[in-house]
Amino acid sequence: MPPRPAGPTRGRAAVLASLTVTALVATGHPASAAPAAPDSLNQAFARAAEEYGVPRDLLTAVGYGETHLNGHGGLPSQDNGYGVMHLVSNPSNRSLEKAAALTGEAVAELRRDTGTNILGGAAVLRSHADALGMDAAERADIDAWYPAVARYSGAEGSVAALYADTVYTFLAEGLRTTVGGERVSVTSRPVSPEKGPLAKADVTAQSPDYPPALWVAANAANYATGRTATVDKVVIHVTQGSYAGTISWFQNPVSQVSSHYVVRSSDGQITQMVRDKDTAYHARSANASSLGIEHEGFVDDPSWFTDTMYRSSAALTKYLCDRYGIPKDRTHVIGHSEAPGNDHTDPGVNWNWTYYMQLVGGTGGSADGLSFGAYTTQSSGSTGAQVTALQTLLNQQGYEAGTADGIFGPTTKSAVQAFQTARGLSADGTVGPKTWTALLSAGTTPVLTKGSSGDAVKRLQRALTAALGTTVSVDGAFGTATDTAVRSYQSSRGLSVDGSVGPNTWAALQSGR
């Protein structure tokens, strides 16, 4: 993404120090904020919420989704957005100018002063609510704000829904962050957003090149069809903005930029936007010979680089390297700053290259040896960490796969075929989504519901990742994300959609459905 020039830093509040995310928690208990100092960030949100009639937690969740509540010293994002609330000024989104008109504040003040910026964000959200005809009773209902939040994104259709869904996930799970020593909290709550027409706008198209990813096409003006060179490298980027905002920006013909993939911070979700066979505009002279992966966040804020993001991205990079014969080393997996002819700094000093390359190389693919952001098809001749996981699972279940050495040989194939026969699957010796799902879910079948925890939940999360082709974080805690994945699985398999993993759901998983 474009480098951001140095600029002045000033704020009504001393809230522009570095952001540290101390927790993102799902809890049913109110998380009250610490006593606020005068002109604190908490007071800025409370004042703006009261002045414009926007729920305080909703306003905070929007800001967190945009910037992790980090104003970045008044410097712009990749699509020219400013401040904690990411007020934007570009040809397709004029929320910054709109905030100035609504509040009477100067554009310069809205860009650099945190309290004013939050006030502007609240004003813009309220204007969207008014345009939608929301009355006082509806404005008091946090679930009714979904369409207004979607409009705040500046995007349309499925991308706007993606943005709003993220905000409501933060509301459902709750969050607690610390900015410059001040704790800012949002209390978890049940949410049932009123999506209206956007209910049918979810992103569901599957990536044509990387099955675990979603597909949203970039604007044709932002990439070139075909290649003029052999693909021999993967380039790692940081978006300097939010996930949904980046997807929307790559759909905008004004941007003249794109990448092949975009990875979300919170859960590792991946969206492909340019086909691998085509040339994305992401790394200047390296465009023709590289695949670009954007990571949600900002280079100066390490809170965006979650373990889930690292694992999901590394699984993608490993897949691309294997598919296109790219060596898994730092000569061929590079940062944007390392691409010839570039003046960018991403992914920056906060990106953990050592850990990332361990994951890419298969030597540290998962802490438990079984959990991955995606489960790729394995067959005779395959090698690596996922073959080791496959062999371990088969041996644990009494199917003799031989030594778990990461090499898919005849003994492993025979064990796979025996397992497939026992589960009523096609006994072809190839481990695709169905066989992975059955293997990963095998074991005891306790009833699991939201709030459950333990190893059985981990088995469930791994199996759902394989079955749905979408990363489900393997943390052993049955939270909102797991509940959503369970319901998605139940719906897609014709099961009762109740979010409870009982005998029928376990039976479906263990038969590879």
Nearest to 294 by CA among 282, 304, 311: 282
Mean pLDDT, rounded, for 58-77: 94
Peptide bond into 347 cis (omega under 30): yes
Please check the confidence at residue 35 and state whether its pLDDT lies above 70. Answer: no
Q: CA angle at residue 223 from 163 to 277, to 5 degrees?
A: 100
pLDDT single digits (tens) 47-63: 999 999 999 999 999 99
pLDDT of residue 15: 34
pLDDT single digits (tens) 76-123: 998 899 999 999 999 889 999 999 999 999 999 999 999 999 999 999
Collapsed DSSP state (helix, strand, coil) of residue 32:
coil
Nearest to 222 by CA among 185, 262, 182: 262
Collapsed DSSP state (helix, strand, coil) of residue 321:
helix
Distance CA 159, CA 1 (A): 20
Nearest to 55 by CA among 164, 151, 163, 171: 171
Distance CA 116, CA 44 (A): 8
pLDDT single digits (tens) 235-271: 999 999 999 999 999 999 999 999 999 999 998 999 9
pLDDT of residue 6: 32
What is the token pair recorded at 374?
Answer: 């995606």
CA dihedral 23, 26, 32, 35 (to 10 degrees): 0
Q: CA angle at residue 329 from 325 to 331, to 5 degrees?
A: 95
Q: What is the amino acid identity at position 139? A: R
CA separation, residue 237 to residues 23, 121, 299, 344 (Å): 25, 28, 9, 9
pLDDT single digits (tens) 156-179: 898 999 999 999 999 999 999 999
pLDDT single digits (tens) 304-318: 999 999 999 999 999
CA dihedral 259, 287, 80, 298 (to 10 degrees): 70
Indicate the pLDDT class of residue 367, thresholds 50, 70 and 90: low
Phi/psi class of residue 469: alpha, beta or left (left: φ > 0; alpha: ψ in -120 to 50)?
left
Please check the confidence at residue 186 and state whether its pLDDT lies above 50. Answer: yes
DSSP code for 405: -
pLDDT single digits (tens) 319-352: 999 999 998 888 789 999 888 878 888 998 889 8
Please check the confidence at residue 363 and state whether its pLDDT lies above 70. Answer: no
Please check the confidence at residue 33 and state whether its pLDDT lies above 70. Answer: no
Percentage of the chain beyond pLDDT 70 is 90
pLDDT single digits (tens) 188-207: 999 999 999 998 776 678 89
Q: What element of type H or E holds 238?
A: strand 233-238
Percentage of the chain beyond pLDDT 90 is 71
pLDDT of residue 462: 93
Distance CA 270, CA 294 (A): 10
Distance CA 164, CA 161 (A): 5
Nearest to 487 by CA among 477, 499, 478: 499
pLDDT of residue 202: 65
User: What's the maximum distance between 2 C-alpha atoms anywhere in the chain?
Assistant: 74
pLDDT of residue 355: 84
As a whole number, the mean pLDDT across the chain is 88
pLDDT single digits (tens) 439-493: 999 999 999 999 998 889 999 999 999 999 877 878 889 999 899 999 999 999 9
Comparing 485 with 367, which gets the higher pLDDT?
A: 485
pTM: 0.63
Name the least confident of 15-29, 39-53, 453-467: 15-29
pLDDT of residue 483: 94
Q: CA angle at residue 55 from 190 to 302, to 5 degrees?
A: 80
* Summary count for the chain: helices (H), strands (E): 17, 13
Peptide bond into 253 cis (omega under 30): no
pLDDT single digits (tens) 127-161: 999 999 999 999 999 999 999 999 999 998 989 99
Mean pLDDT, rounded, for 386-414: 91
- Residue 224 CA from chain centroid, whole number: 26
pLDDT of residue 18: 30
Q: CA angle at residue 110 from 107 to 113, to 5 degrees?
A: 135
